[in-house]
Chains A and B, each alone.
Chain A
Amino acid sequence: MTMDLRPIEIEPIQPLRRWWVPIVFAIAVLAIANTVLVAIGVSHTPRHEERLLEAKWALAGDTRRTFDWVVLGDSSATLGVAPETLSRELGGEAINLGTFGAMGLTGDVWMLDRYLAHHEPPRGVIVVHAAEVWAGHRDDAFFQYAAAIPISTPALFRRLIELRSRPSEMFITARYRDWFPLLTIKDHVRGGVDRSIDQPIGGGDSGGEANSVELKMPADGTWRMTADQARPESVIASSRIYMSDVVEPAKMDPRYLVALEELVLRSRRDGFEIYFSGGPLPRLVRESTTFDGKVRGVTTELTKLSDRETQVHFVLRDWVSFEPDVMENCNHVVGPAIDEYTTQLARAIRDSMDSR
């Protein structure tokens, strides 16, 4: 089979007088379709993370109950720390205001500020993050999710300026998405297309559409994200990726260092203890030779901070690891492992309290 023809660009011999018609027509069709969608009340399709964020934001501002222990962090905290276990082990009431990895430590500051604005300071704040989040997982998706926080745009911008960050277009499209359903309906359309031909490939490490995480409201009214089934094969596969990603000791993101200082500042100002900890891990990751290199920067920073400030504690320094058959992905524990992880965390906190 041979095709020797090498195409060239031949200028239109008679350029169309109405060259603009096709593109204007295309834009007009899409604009009309968008307007129709707005008119019939189709707004954006909320993502799972946004629903969680909105629920947690509301919870942090709910003044009906006060708490002794406030849990912050990413999905390893959201899924892995059970408030009832903390209450049992430490006494007092506990609330889990954890969100997900893309919110990072910056999200912790926002959530804590929200809580403190509506409540008396708690006895302790527990901040739990997965290793890669501590180690400087910086994701521009932060802006997209931050934009979903239900506060005014000027207030959001003020907070972003405080963080010396320039909002990306993800922020803008997320903030004003209700006006452009055609842009955001893609989640729905793409999801439908993908579902019709696809089961998710590979099994994502965290946060993807692939996992079996559900947003549920237990009887106590505290919204909680739950992973209800273990996926050991996916955990093993993503553990390998997790380890191969590490090539040198990672440092903490400068933006996260700012957020850490902000958290410490609040603990000093309002007189509560603050406990930093790593989330649960697969044993395969914990025992890999590269793991310590990955968290060296984190360990150094958190140790420095806890040595400097009496109210700051770095607990579970050796990390708690689990077999893949009780994990949903590299950062999420399921079933009895949630109680086990929380118990270990609570006991480390108690030890820290006792040693003072």
Chain B
Amino acid sequence: MLFNSIDFLVFLAVIAVIYPWMVGRVRLRNASLLAASYVFYGWWDARFLSLLVLSTIVDYSLARLLQRTENVPTRRLLLAASILINLGILAYFKYASFFVDSFAEVLRAVGMRADYATLSIILPLGISFYTFQTLSYTVDVYRRQLHATSSLVDFALYVSFFPQLVAGPIERAGELLPQLSSPTTLTRANFSIGVWLILFGYFKKVYVADNLGASIDPIFDDHRAFTLADVCLGVLGFSMQIYGDFSGYSDIARGVARLLGFHLMVNFRLPYFATSPSDFWQRWHISLSTWLRDYLYIPLGGNRGGKAATMRNLMLTMLLGGLWHGASMKFVAWGGFHGLLLVLQRRGIRFGWLGMLIATQIGWLIFRATSLTTAFEMISQTEWWWTSHSTRLLAKLILYAGPLVIIDVWMQRTGDLLAPLRLSIAWQATLYTLMLAAIVVLGFDGASEFIYFQF
């Protein structure tokens, strides 16, 4: 079910009607939210619910066993089983085709025949997100940082909580499970923040991201028909599109969770104001970057093993972080590029705001181009001049991305992501009306998928 579909609005309306009756009754509330979450997920393809349930049962059971066992080899074995099963499922559904294709290419490169049937595997929605969530739970229980929950329903809801199920934020069990096992209260603050986040999220997705996507897609579909100036504007447009799309999804997810009385973590903190690579990753997809830090970078040794080991750990973490985004060399290259930026920062290179912004744009070119070769072709165009088409494209960027830039500058200057809620009621009403009108009257037609659904 897409957040930007009538199906979801009806679904949410039904929940809004029945939810107040069960807020104080934890078991009933959680069972109902679990059922709703499975309906939400099954709406896309009910067959893949079985994977979600399998992942839930495996990690629930293994964590329970880990909780009871003191024997170290047994505990390691249980942890290894969880990692193998979770990453095995992820590897099969997400990476099998990629590895078969890459292996065949290597064979062909050395002159050997590579006859193989291309795998056609459907990528289950949200698998990268919920797999990381279940995995972190088991690891936390293994590390004795968390008590394994005894309630299967609570755990199943933690894994499948519909607002963040398909595209995050990747919640930590230590943050969400305690909320799920306590009664919730519906407060004015939650409603106020929830409504704002939902409205702002839809604005970012429907007005900013979808309109920008329609304007810049032709450049990435057929870059040869455009000049370098157009390509640069296209990349700039994409940087705002993916920001609007993904942070819009996170905002809607957090807003819906707020209305239900739950707090999800902040996933974006105005990333384009970052002044260094490490600052960027503390602002962009925070739930993933902190996950990678805690469950990959630090276990690899973090910065404890000297300069060379730190660089290696950074590169490995970012390469795998890139691969997490999709089974393609371009995502690996994008991760590698950001790893390189982090390494350069460690070596004392100062980026500053503008330098980091330009570096981020280069990253997005690698990310969005259809392949690495295409990305190189796009920036090595000899026709670089500004055309009337460039002017029109710039006008569209200003029209569709300008309002979001203004709001972000305002939030950055006040240091408050909820700055609009400090306005007087009259100004708030004006802002809400303008945003709703932009969504309804100027929003892009049809329910287009969120970019991060493919990951």
Contact = CB atoms under 8 A, between A and B. Distances in A.
Nearest to B370: A244
12 contacts: A1-B352, A2-B352, A7-B270, A7-B417, A9-B418, A11-B418, A16-B421, A22-B432, A26-B429, A169-B447, A202-B218, A202-B225
B425 A30 contact: no
Interface stretch (B19-27, B73-81, B191-199, B307-315): B191-199
B152 interface: no
Interface stretch (A71-79, A97-105, A185-193): A185-193
Given A15-B187, A17-B188, A202-B221, A10 B416 contact: yes
Nearest to B393: A201
A-B pairs with the 3 shortest C-beta distances? A202-B218, A169-B6, A19-B192
B191 A19 contact: yes
A18 interface: yes
Interface residues of A, number: 50
Contact of A22 (B188, B392, B429): B429
Interface in A152-193: 168-170, 172-173, 182-183, 185-187, 189-190, 193
A46 B257 CA distance: 39
Contacts, number: 143
Contact of B417 (A9, A26, A29, A183): A9
B347 interface: no
A99 B421 CA distance: 51
Contact of A30 (B416, B433, B442): B433
B416 to A, nearest CB: 5
Contacts of B354: 1
B300 interface: no
A8 to B, nearest CB: 7
A6 B225 contact: no
Contacts of B224: 240
Contacts of A141: 446
Interface of B: 5-7, 118, 187-189, 191-193, 195, 199, 215, 218-219, 221-222, 224-225, 266, 269-270, 273, 275, 279, 282-283, 352-354, 389, 392-393, 395-396, 399, 411-412, 414-418, 421-422, 425, 428-429, 431-433, 435-437, 440-443, 445-447
A185 B222 CA distance: 31
Contact of A7 (B215, B416, B445): B416
Given A10-B418, A169-B6, A198 B392 contact: yes
Contacts of B417: 7-9
B195 A1 contact: no
B425 A22 contact: yes
Nearest to B211: A190
Contacts of A186: 440-443, 445
B11 to A, nearest CB: 12
A7 B392 CA distance: 33
A9 B392 CA distance: 36
A351 interface: no
B412 A5 contact: yes
